[in-house]
């Protein structure tokens, strides 16, 4: 496994044994190697990948670890927003996919993608979204982005077909865009836990 994995990436494993420290009973009845797990934000002294397992119900979520050598496929959030692929999706009539398609048909000064249930559905073809589903979005921001550009993005989501939430991923962690635009500060999610910041790109704060 040579690809650098990031939070929200979906990965497929080659065996059940590759999934470690998952104790929830429902996992063995549902999860198999044909289904991906999602990379979460954590660190492990043994070098294992922090992952989450998704079930078919909202309350079926389990955290565990995966052996990097067992990863056979990776799907990033940004690989799911090709307009032609979205148009061909069996879920194209669902509001979250319609909103993703609208965003994908515009030019943005950053790389972005879809996470959450909509990303899972697009990556697997499994119908885990419906007309009331939210759209979870991720913006990659390795360098600081202007507030004005981010406000233009946020305006596209206001009064949209469905509720949409955007996480902005910086080298220091990820923050909720709506919270930062509203309050001028936000909780930055890091591998060492959350911290309240005004400048999400600054390590010193």
Q: Does 134 participate in catalysis according to the annotation?
A: yes
Handedness of CA 51, 36, 53, 178 (dihedral sign): positive
Active-site annotation holder among 17, 28, 44, 134: 134
CA 85 to chain centre: 18
Q: Does 59 participate in catalysis according to the annotation?
A: no
> Catalytic positions, please?
134, 136
């Amino acid at each position: 496994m040579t690809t650098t994995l990031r939070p929200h990436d979906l990965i497929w494993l080659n065996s059940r044994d590759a999934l470690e420290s998952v104790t929830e009973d429902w996992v063995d009845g549902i999860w198999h190697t044909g289904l991906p797990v999602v990379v979460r934000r954590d660190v492990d002294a043994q070098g294992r990948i922090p992952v989450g397992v998704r079930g078919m119900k909202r309350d079926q979520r389990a955290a565990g670890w995966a052996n990097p050598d067992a990863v056979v496929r990776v799907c990033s959030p940004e690989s799911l927003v090709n307009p032609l692929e979205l148009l061909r999706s069996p879920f194209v009539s669902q509001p979250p996919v319609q909103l993703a398609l609208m965003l994908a048909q515009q030019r943005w000064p950053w790389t972005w993608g879809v996470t959450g249930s909509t990303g899972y559905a697009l990556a697997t073809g499994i119908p885990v979204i419906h007309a009331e589903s939210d759209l979870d979005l991720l913006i990659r921001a390795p360098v600081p982005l202007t507030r004005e550009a981010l406000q233009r993005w946020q305006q596209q989501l206001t009064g949209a077909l469905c509720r949409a939430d955007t996480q902005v991923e910086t080298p220091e962690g990820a923050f909720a865009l709506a919270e930062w635009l509203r309050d001028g500060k936000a909780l930055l999610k890091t591998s060492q836990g959350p911290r309240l910041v005004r400048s999400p790109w600054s390590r010193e704060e």
